[in-house]
Structure 1
Amino acid sequence: MSGLAARKHRVVTLFQRHVANPLNRRLPFQTLLETTGRSSGLPRQTPVGGRRVGDAFWLVSEFGHKAQYIRNIQADPRVRVRLSGRWHHGTARLLPDDDPVARLRALPFFNSTAVRAFGTDLMTVRVDLED
């Protein structure tokens, strides 16, 4: 990661961790992705943007393998997704060969714009929903 990309990652991550995510988690209809912490074993909830298509939920990670929730998925792909206030169990799949920029065109505009603007290493994630 270049110096500029590393700085951008640090600034965006600090803002998300300390300002945006704590506020967004409290919104009852904010989409949340819940992973299991790879070290702690505790549930970790991350506000995400994406779209349900049939029995799958699609999202694009801004920071790819550097994102903590991506690292948690690598350790344990069993997740929960809160959609419209209701929790769904599923299995997350990282899709590094998918075109994340093309995928963002099919996802909600506001979130996709932010991911493109702030992201440094985009990666598509599909969650196969079980219920």
Structure 2
Amino acid sequence: MSRLTDVRFRAATAFQRYVANPLTRRLPGHTLIETTGRVSGLPRRTPVGGRRVGDAFWLVSEFGGRSQYIRNIEADPRVRVRLHGRWYTGTAHLLPDDDPVARTRSLPRFNSAAVRALGTDLLTVRVDLDRL
């Protein structure tokens, strides 16, 4: 990994961890993914941008396997997703063979632009939502 990539990763994750995520987690309409901490076993809520299509929720992680919530999904794919203030349970699938840049074109524009601009290792995630 290049030094520039590492600096971008550290700057973006520090900003997200200490500024953006604490604020957006409190907004009732913001989309969250809740994973189970792979070490602590505690619920971990991360703001994400994505879109529900049928019984699936799609998102693109900007840092792939370096993202803590992706590492939590690798350990336990059972997740919850908060969409428009309502929680849904589901199973997350990491899709390394999917084209994440193409996928961002079908997701919310603002978030997708940020993911493409800041991301260093894009990874598509599909959450198959349980039927109600």
TM bin, normalised by shorter chain, reads over 0.9
Question: Superposition RMSD on alpha carbons, in Å?
Answer: 0.4
Measured after TM superposition, the shift of residue 37 of structure 1 is 0.1
Residue 98 of structure 1 aligns to a residue whose secondary structure is coil
Residues 68-87 of structure 1 aligned to structure 2 (within 5 Å): 68-87=68-87
Q: Please name the residue that 2:99 is paired with.
A: 99
Percent sequence identity over matched residues?
76
Alignment-derived partner of residue 14 in structure 1:
14
Give 1:6 shift: 0.5
Q: Which structure 2 residues correspond to residues 1-131 of structure 1 after superposition, within 5 A?
A: 1-130=1-130, 131=132
Q: Distance in 1 between matches of 2:42 and 2:2?
A: 32
Deviation per CA, 1:48-106: give whole Å up to 9, x if none.
00000000000000000000000000000000000000000000000000000000000
Count how many residue pairs are aligned between Structure 1 and Structure 2.
131
Q: Structure 1 runs of 4+ off > 4 angstroms?
A: none
CA distance in 1, matches of 2:12, 2:113: 14
What's the CA shift string for 1:94-126, capped at 9, x where partnerless? Answer: 000000000000000000000001100000000
Distance in 1 separating the partners of 2:2 and 2:19: 25
Give the residue type in structure 1 aligned to 2:29: F
Q: TM-score, normalised by structure 2?
A: 0.99
Equivalents in 2 of 1:86, 1:59: separation in Å?
17
Task: Give 5+ residue unaligned stretches, structure 1.
Answer: none
Distance 2:83 2:2 in 1: 35
Using the alignment, how far apart are the partners of 1:91 and 1:109 within structure 2? 25
